[in-house]
Amino acid sequence: MAWDEPAMKRGTIAFYRVSVEGVLQTYQTPDPGNPAPLSLLVSGLSPYTDYSLSVTAFNVEGGNELMGEDSMSITKRTAESSKY
């Protein structure tokens, strides 16, 4: 999954968190950095299934995580599984 930086930022983005509706796990870009990565492999999903995903940007200030607004949710279908 890939995305663009938010048009309006409140400081330097340290990392992004991806939420997938119906999945208890959240996914986070590895190794917070400057700039934070703009893509992430979301694994462990079922094949040929629709999922709604959203991305949230985070800043870190004084050791505290500061959450930005969630992106609009998008719905994507995973690929069909291979029979091999």
- Amino acid 19: pLDDT: 92
The band of 83, judged by pLDDT with boundaries at 50, 70 and 90, is low
Over the stretch 21-53, which tens digit does the pLDDT of each residue have?
A: 888 888 998 866 667 888 988 888 999 999 999
* Tokens read off for 29: 């870009």
Please state the domain extents for the chain.
15-77
Contacts of 50 (CB under 8 A, 6+ apart): 75, 76, 77
Compute the average pLDDT of residues 12-18. 89
Over the stretch 56-72, which tens digit does the pLDDT of each residue have?
A: 999 888 888 888 888 88
Numbers of helices and strands, H then E, in the chain: 0, 5
pLDDT higher at 45 or 11: 45
